Structure 1
Amino acid sequence: MIQDLLQKYNVPVPRYTSYPPANYFTDTFTNTDYESAIEASNTASPGHISFYVHIPFCRHLCHYCGCNSFAMMNRDVVERYIEAVHEEIDRVKERLAPGRKISQIHYGGGSPTAMPVYVLKELNEHLLSGFETIDQPEIAVECHPGYLDEEYWQCLAEAGFNRFSLGVQDFDEKVLKTVNRRPALLPVEMIFRILRSKGARINMDFIYGLPFQTAESFSETITRAAVLQPDRLVTFSYAHVPWVNRQQLILEKAGLPASEEKSRMFEAAKEILGGNGYKTIGLDHFVRKDDELYTARQNGQLHRNFQGYCTRRTTGQVYAFGVTGISQLSSAYTQNSKDINRYIEQIGSGSFAITKGYTLSRDEQITREVIETLMCNYTLNWQEVAIRLSCPVDEVKAATAYDENRIREFAEDGLIEYDDDHIRMTSEGALFVRNVAASLDKLMLHSNKSFSKPV
């Protein structure tokens, strides 16, 4: 059965980490448009503030990476970049309404931990100044453990962070060498002891679908990770997009696992983690039962923004800083310049550094809520979405590409169960939630965009 579904539904569709996806952004969006979107965000929902800081630098670049990363530049460029980020923070914060609260801060990259700890600590202090936070805000940083010694981990845990995402990717050193990824400098067990002693919450990130990975080898990696009992564990499906990063062609030459083998890797990981008490969240996240993401999933209140999965308690409109940073506001998305020197110059001139963006129509705002709800909770209650958006159910459905015949086909193939009020993914159909979401997306009716496959 799974092979039949793979053959039919393992076709390129958006990942829907945002709606619309970033490849719909246009270069007609301006700095002035961004200022207007910030102003509008002050009276829109959600009311909380999420900050994202993009640190683009890496000690070296991994071949699989599809992120906006750069090999470490000279000290002067790095220092000027950090100064520009501080200036951009000031420029945004002065436009935010007083009284709003910070719910999230997230550092991504690149490798944020390519920076000295004091740089990250000063950025945290700057972001938090002048605004209160919600109770137990999430202040998270993505970590490349390949270069970090004991002193760095100790200082990082004292720099204001309360969640750490360890980019392990795989424990198999042959796999890591092939993809140009350095293994952890310290034993991962030691890193856990350091962070746990500071009361930190720990995520672990892994990628499946890389050269030399098999279901058996990936099972060994996940089994070792499960013993450590991270709070959250993520198994990312490798997205082969060499048109974004030509270095991925190196992995083609090394040989990529077939879709069927990738599916076996995921299913094996899911079984191992389930046996160790973890619950599935969204497409690729696994959490312990005491995690608030699990509670939100049980209540149908799981949410997602560019920071990742979150609850409606912690979600906020996202204001991004740094090159390629994407802000996710109520009525618009914006993206900063990808060129580091241009970003520094534009911020230094007293402007923003917007290079593209997208203004959402009312129908697209409705569709965003529908798709995010389905992607996060694997169930969609049309009435609940209508209540959240203060509009009739008929208007919600009309805003999407809802097609009764297409929905019935998914049901006949065993991907979903549905009635007039609900769409629910089945356990067999969960891998293909992106396909069901795409069927509700009017933009996909005539799309010529490139996307990755679900598996």
Structure 2
Amino acid sequence: MKQELLEKYNVPVPRYTSYPPANYFHDGFTSRDYADAIRKSNRQQPEFISFYFHIPFCLRLCHYCGCNSYAAPEPEIIDRYVAALHKEIDLVLPLLDKKRKISQIHYGGGTPTSLPALELEELNAHVLNEFYSIAKPEIAIECHPGWMKGRDWAKLTKIGFNRFSIGIQDFNEQVLRTVHRKAPLLQPEEIVATLRSCEVRINMDFLYGLPHQTEASFSETIERAVSLKPDRLVTFSYAHVPWAFPRQKVLAKAGLPSDDEKSRMFEAARKILCEADYQPIGLDHFVRKDDELYTALQNGQLHRNFQGYCTRRTTGQVYAFGVTGISQLGTAYAQNTKNIMEYIEKIEAGVLPVAKGYLLSREEQVTREVIEMLMCNYRIDWNELSEQLSIPARSIKQATAYDETRLREFADDGLIEFDKNQIRMTPEGRLFVRNVAASLDKLMLGTNKSFSKPV
């Protein structure tokens, strides 16, 4: 990436894991609104159900973390929290059409593997016993290898988890010590061998832009990761937002890499992965050619929800349980309270613990489809969207902040190619797909919201 383009386009823009972004949610959206939105979602697309469980507890908090996580409290609070998850399920499930099928279950955090396998199994059973599932649903869990022994990995496979996202972040122990992350308890090679013997899918997550990371050191980490042959590998750009997560201030004192160094880390990692025959997916994922995400990308059918990238086969409306969980429905978002005790007390009182949310206008629903197509498939085909949404292409453009002058600037800089029918990201421009998406977003016109940089 040319330095002048990096300086021009490495500016704060939304990540667009949702549209609108979560910082547009507001507290005028109530528990009653959420219940109404759940009922309406039974008649909306996608028809499949995706359940998300947020386990906020961590045995040790990492300084870089931008997730809603908390130091593990006393055991009785954890027990009440797990009981509240079951009660929240009981509040939501009667509102769902039992003819719908489960396509995904995902556990995030925090550290989901801080809970005993038996409790995770009981949560899975609570929802799986109430609905049919699609063939081969994805039942996934984010794992912290710093606290897991060999038998812990094996137990999770026996209770039905078939995709494991292993939070490595970096193999460099100096980096891990600085960010206050515990190194894997077992050698990664041993973890992979255990999971491979159980025939499950393996993701590995890495983070670049941390103190003490360099292009050379991060390249060593990615080369080791490639030797382990995970099915998917993710290279997240560290988002330094200390105004939102004050614990990140420690990392600035330790010294963060420059934007230019971060860019070189990503490019070096991308080169290593592509030479190892991994295929780039979206912003930060790399997958093997036999992965269904790659097939979906080739067919222009890649999709994304709060569970991450997925295919049309597995995508569903997301119903989230636990503190800060975000439900992503056909026409609405709802986010639970972030306070653990408030969450428990509301659930025990029989109240859905919604703190804020967002009801999308028809124009925003159209814009969401446009931005999702671009973010997932690196292209927008206005005629394809017209057929999909049953509205004229010109009306779709009018719903967005479509501006040919702005698009021509992207094209002159080599980021996109476009005509009246399509917008396509160039291979060189994909790093800044968020910038192009933001140019189509009416909510970005004069916004005062804060976002992270692409690199």
TM-score range, shorter chain: over 0.9
Q: Which residue of 1 aligns with 2:180?
A: 180
- Per the alignment, in what secondary structure is the counterpart of residue 335 of structure 1? strand
* 1:180-329 pair list within 5 angstroms: 180-329=180-329
- Per the alignment, in what secondary structure is the counterpart of residue 293 of structure 2? helix
Q: Which residue of 2 aligns with 1:414?
A: 414
Residue type of the partner of 2:409? E
* 1:17-32 pair list within 5 angstroms: 17-32=17-32
> How far did 1:177 drift?
0.2
Is it true that 1:166 corresponds to 2:163 in the alignment? no
Residue type of the partner of 1:85? L
Q: What is the percentage of aligned positions where both structures have the same residue?
A: 66
Q: C-alpha distance in 1, partners of 2:205/2:405?
A: 38
> How far did 1:129 drift?
1.1
Q: C-alpha distance in 1, partners of 2:2/2:116?
A: 47
Q: Which residue of 1 aligns with 2:391?
A: 391
- Per the alignment, in what secondary structure is the counterpart of residue 303 of structure 1? strand
Q: Which residue of 1 aligns with 2:70?
A: 70
- Per the alignment, in what secondary structure is the counterpart of residue 453 of structure 1? coil
TM-score in terms of structure 2 length: 0.99
Give CA deviations for 1:304-334 in whole Å, capped at 9, x if unaligned.
0000000011100000000000000011000
Q: Which residue of 1 aligns with 2:336?
A: 336
> How far did 1:365 drift?
0.3
Is it true that 1:154 corresponds to 2:147 in the alignment? no
Q: Which residue of 1 aligns with 2:111?
A: 111
> How far did 1:98 drift?
1.7
For structure 1, the 5+ residue unaligned runs are none
Residue type of the partner of 1:347? I
Q: C-alpha distance in 1, partners of 2:57/2:388?
A: 40
- Per the alignment, in what secondary structure is the counterpart of residue 218 of structure 2? helix
**Higher mean C-alpha deviation, range 159-168 or range 385-394:** 385-394
- Per the alignment, in what secondary structure is the counterpart of residue 247 of structure 1? helix
Residue type of the partner of 1:305? N
Give CA deviations for 1:29-76 in whole Å, capped at 9, x if unaligned.
000000110011000010000000000000010000010000001011
**Higher mean C-alpha deviation, range 151-160 or range 395-404:** 151-160
Q: C-alpha distance in 2, partners of 1:238/1:343?
A: 29
Give CA deviations for 1:280-316 in whole Å, capped at 9, x if unaligned.
0000000000000000001111000000000011100
Q: C-alpha distance in 1, partners of 2:4/2:219?
A: 24
Residue type of the partner of 2:90? D
Residue type of the partner of 2:337? S
Residue type of the partner of 1:300? G
- Per the alignment, in what secondary structure is the counterpart of residue 212 of structure 1? coil
Q: Which residue of 2 aligns with 1:355?
A: 355
Is it true that 1:4 corresponds to 2:4 in the alignment? yes
> How far did 1:91 drift?
1.3
Q: C-alpha distance in 1, partners of 2:84/2:144?
A: 24
> How far did 1:247 drift?
1.0
Give CA deviations for 1:259-291 in whole Å, capped at 9, x if unaligned.
010000000000101111100000000000000
> How far did 1:135 drift?
0.9
Q: C-alpha distance in 2, partners of 1:67/1:427?
A: 30
> How far did 1:180 drift?
0.2
Is it true that 1:365 corresponds to 2:365 in the alignment? yes
> How far did 1:409 drift?
0.6
> How far did 1:446 drift?
1.6
> How far did 1:77 drift?
0.3
Q: C-alpha distance in 1, partners of 2:384/2:31?
A: 35
Q: C-alpha distance in 2, partners of 1:129/1:319?
A: 16
> How far did 1:394 drift?
1.1
> How far did 1:90 drift?
1.5
Q: Which runs of 4+ in 1 moved over 3 A?
A: none
Residue type of the partner of 2:423? I
- Per the alignment, in what secondary structure is the counterpart of residue 108 of structure 1? strand
Q: C-alpha distance in 1, partners of 2:238/2:157?
A: 29
> How far did 1:386 drift?
1.6
> How far did 1:352 drift?
0.2
Residue type of the partner of 2:442? K
- Per the alignment, in what secondary structure is the counterpart of residue 146 of structure 1? helix
- Per the alignment, in what secondary structure is the counterpart of residue 428 of structure 2? coil
Q: Which residue of 2 aligns with 1:56?
A: 56
In the alignment of these two chains, the number of paired residues is 455
> How far did 1:452 drift?
0.3
Q: Which residue of 1 aligns with 2:100?
A: 100
Q: C-alpha distance in 2, partners of 1:195/1:122?
A: 22
Give CA deviations for 1:390-436 in whole Å, capped at 9, x if unaligned.
11111110100000100111001100000111000001111100000
Residue type of the partner of 1:209? G
> How far did 1:94 drift?
1.0
> How far did 1:186 drift?
0.3
> How far did 1:256 drift?
0.4
Q: Which residue of 2 aligns with 1:126?
A: 126
Residue type of the partner of 2:334? T
Q: C-alpha distance in 2, partners of 1:134/1:338?
A: 32
Residue type of the partner of 1:68? N
Q: C-alpha distance in 1, partners of 2:291/2:90?
A: 34
> How far did 1:244 drift?
1.3
Q: Which residue of 2 aligns with 1:375?
A: 375
Q: C-alpha distance in 2, partners of 1:130/1:85?
A: 16
TM-score in terms of structure 1 length: 0.99
